[in-house]
Amino acid sequence: MSPPLERRSFLALCGGAAAATILPVPGRAAVKRGTPLHGLSAFGDLKYGPDFQHFDYASPEAPKDGLFNFSPPNWAYNQNVETFNTLNSFVPNSDAPPRMELCFDSLMVRAIDEPDAIYGLLAESVTISDDGNSFTFKLRPNIRFSDGSQLTAEDVAFTYNLYKEKGHPSLLLPLRFLKEAVAEEPAKVRLSFTGRQSDRTILSVATFPVVSKAFFTQNPFDGSQLNPPLGSGPYKVGHFRAGQSINYERRSDYWGADLPVNRGLNLFGTIRIEFYRNREAGFEAFKKGNVLYREEFTSKTWATEYGFPAVAEKHVVKRTFPAEKQPSMQAWAVNIRRPQFQDVRVRRAIGLCFDFEWTRRNLFYGSYDRSESLFERSDFVAAGPPSAAELKLLEPLRGKVPDEVFGEPYRQPVSDGSGRDRKLLRQAFTLLNQAGWKRQGSLLTNAKEERLKLELLVNDPVFTRVEQPFVDNMRAIGIDASIRLVDAAQYQERLSKFDFDMVGIAASFSATPTREELAHYFSSEAATTPSSRNLPGTADPAVDALIDAAGKAKSRDELTTAMRALDRVLRAREDWIPNWYLANHRTAFWDMFGFKENKPDYGFPVETLWWVDEKKAKAIGKD
């Protein structure tokens, strides 16, 4: 489960007229400052020039109409796929429906066939100051909210100041070094930073959804209302039933429909999401054709339950698509805010109780690979002893990080596949003894005679099936372990308040992670920020230093070095215990859609890329 994370930054920029200031940077294009730019990129020239007509993955020739009813495979901010009680997606509290961001435009938008590039949407151009700390955006003319009112620089400045004060952590944290957001003219807004921000901060910040000053002057900026916030995006909220369903209707009067960044995208007339409290109900809705597209995350279902008539009749297509070329993590977060988990030996002992080999064979039907890193599927996974470049970052931290960081990176244990590997369980028991936990009867207690308790929080019965053997192994060595299944609203609330012992999540990072993006998951500041993704509560100056090093990287080689060093430290800490990952998207859909066969490498937003093929729809009775 994962929010689609923040984006990226600048450096090696292109576009616009002659540069007023050109700073040569060895090994890549010059950074242009003082001149209007149509796009920004982190470490190289932009793929698309100033006069590009559309992204290569877009389909301008495709029809625009039809219904797309789907189960969202990912979500952002405070969104929840099981229920919703607010339509404000940008606050820390409450539960909003996925894809509310389709109703809002941003200054710039990312290209999902490049690892680190964004192009102007609301902004016609951006100009970088000579010191690199201010970004002045010139807005396009005639930008309109869905009620017909004008969107101006005042709305943009209001948005950033609002997010900095009250926004969801994924919006608030990247703005910590924003000094001011100022509307200099009706169509010109300036974002100025303190100088402590990462070079790449702007590529995250420039993609934030812009809201209406007038709307949030008249309405509270919180999660208390089901009044749709006013947006300027390609869709607006249509019919909805709180907690049950929502329609997003494509705007026929959308001001930006013919912009290069939008042409050939946002093709469905209606995007509909229905909310189900469990996976089985959602799957049944798909089998009946009430839901038209789903990504399958349950191995048993994928392996054994796609034999229903619509598949046999070839009305439903079952296929895989390659995963994106960006870091992903799936792991259990152990809440080290709680005293019993603060010793790394306890966390490592917990990890030793998970028998992946048995789980893969018996519960995953041979699918999934074992996660070792929090940055799987990327070049950021550490391997072998640290390189000389990594050691330059790690040596100043010697004595502040585990000694094993300077050798081979920690790897998760390989079991004998029995389901209860006695050798690994003995190792776990020994570690717990060393950490001061002694067996008293069938359970482990400390010197204060407190039991070593662990409650694994889940929000779907499927996790109970997969994780019960893991819990049983913990109990076998004396941990008072259990699984707590809660509903979607309670689950979200407990995560936002860090009210759990251990919980599992999945997430993906951008191909060029920013300091702010990493900080959201791993920094000391995020550890005390409610609703952040630093679920374990990691608050380690050494980790903070490596996050800063990644944020300051001036080339992809420097970024890779810093990320691998960070990977070594995080793996040694085991605040996050990596579990498993999948190398592709397992999808099923009713055969009524058109799409380009080769998907983009850095994103897979089916709801904005695909379209209804009327001939196919008619052939299966879905016209």
Identify whether residues 161 and 36 lie together within a single domain.
yes
Identify whether residues 213 and 334 lie together within a single domain.
no
Express each pLDDT in 347-374 by its tens digit: 999 999 999 999 999 999 998 999 999 9
Share of the chain above pLDDT 70, in %: 95
pLDDT band for 534, please (50, 70, 90 cuts).
Answer: very high
CATH number, domain of 146, equals 3.40.190.10
Express each pLDDT in 484-533 by its tens digit: 999 988 999 999 999 999 999 999 999 999 898 999 999 999 999 999 99
- Going by their DSSP bridges, the two strands 270-274 and 443-445 should be labelled as unpaired
Q: Write down the mean pLDDT value for the chain.
A: 92
The span from the CA of 599 to the CA of 319, in Å, is: 13
CATH number, domain of 375, equals 3.10.105.10
In a domain? residue 189? yes
Tell me how far apart the terminal alpha carbons of the chain are, to the nearest angstrom: 33
Which residue range is the domain that position 37 belongs to? 21-57+104-218
Give me the pLDDT at residue 489, please. 86
Indicate the residue among 187, 218, 249 that finishes a domain.
218
Give me the pLDDT at residue 55, please. 98
pLDDT band for 199, please (50, 70, 90 cuts).
Answer: confident
In a domain? residue 383? yes
Domain count, the chain: 2
pLDDT band for 217, please (50, 70, 90 cuts).
Answer: very high
Q: How far is CA 153 from CA 136, 175, 188, 190, in A?
A: 11, 18, 6, 9
DSSP string, 267-282: --SEEEEE--SSHHHH
pLDDT band for 2, please (50, 70, 90 cuts).
Answer: very low
Give me the pLDDT at residue 6, please. 33
Average pLDDT over residues 5-17: 29
In a domain? residue 259? no
Give me the pLDDT at residue 220, please. 96
Give me the pLDDT at residue 31, please. 52
Identify whether residues 553 and 419 lie together within a single domain.
yes
Indicate the residue among 218, 234, 262 that finishes a domain.
218
Nearest to 460 by CA among 243, 278, 276: 278
For 40, phi then psi, to 5°, come to: -130, 145
Helices (H), 143-277: 153-166, 169-172, 202-205, 213-218
SS (H, E, C) 383-439: CCCCCHHHHHHHHHHECCECHHHHCCCCCCCCCCCCCCCHHHHHHHHHHHHHCCCEE
In a domain? residue 334? yes
Determine the residue type at 257: A
Express each pLDDT in 136-188 by its tens digit: 999 999 999 999 999 999 999 999 999 999 999 999 999 999 999 999 999 99
Average pLDDT over residues 257-274: 98
Identify whether residues 213 and 332 lie together within a single domain.
no
To 10 degrees, the CA torsion angle through 341, 345, 350, 355? 160
Identify whether residues 206 and 344 lie together within a single domain.
no
Structural contact between residues 325 and 115, judged by C-beta atoms closer than 8 angstroms: yes
Query: Global pTM?
Result: 0.87
Give me the pLDDT at residue 357, please. 97
DSSP element (H, E) containing 344: helix 344-352
Express each pLDDT in 97-134 by its tens digit: 999 999 999 999 999 999 999 999 999 999 999 999 99
Identify whether residues 485 and 336 lie together within a single domain.
yes
> Is the pLDDT confidence value at 26 over 90?
no
For 467, phi then psi, to 5°, come to: -100, -5
In a domain? residue 151? yes
Indicate the residue among 183, 218, 253 that finishes a domain.
218
Token duo for residue 422: 């006695």
Determine the residue type at 300: K
What is the per-residue burial (b if ≥16 Cβ within 10 Å, else e) of 340-360? bbebbbbbbbbbbbbbbbbbb
Express each pLDDT in 307-326 by its tens digit: 999 999 999 999 999 999 99
In a domain? residue 266? no
Nearest to 191 by CA among 175, 209, 214: 175
Identify whether residues 541 and 409 lie together within a single domain.
yes
> Is the pLDDT confidence value at 583 over 90?
no
Give me the pLDDT at residue 537, please. 98
In a domain? residue 48? yes
In a domain? residue 8? no
Give me the pLDDT at residue 416, please. 97
Give me the pLDDT at residue 29, please. 38
Lowest-confidence pick of 5-19, 312-326, 478-492, 536-550: 5-19
Express each pLDDT in 404-454 by its tens digit: 999 999 999 999 999 999 999 999 999 999 999 999 999 999 999 999 999
Identify whether residues 191 and 334 lie together within a single domain.
no
> Is the pLDDT confidence value at 16 over 50?
no
The span from the CA of 376 to the CA of 4, in Å, is: 16
Average pLDDT over residues 75-86: 93
Q: Which residues pair with 106 in a beta bridge?
A: 209
Give me the pLDDT at residue 4, please. 37
Nearest to 221 by CA among 494, 237, 230: 230
Locate tokens 């996790």: which residue? 463
Identify whether residues 381 and 519 lie together within a single domain.
yes
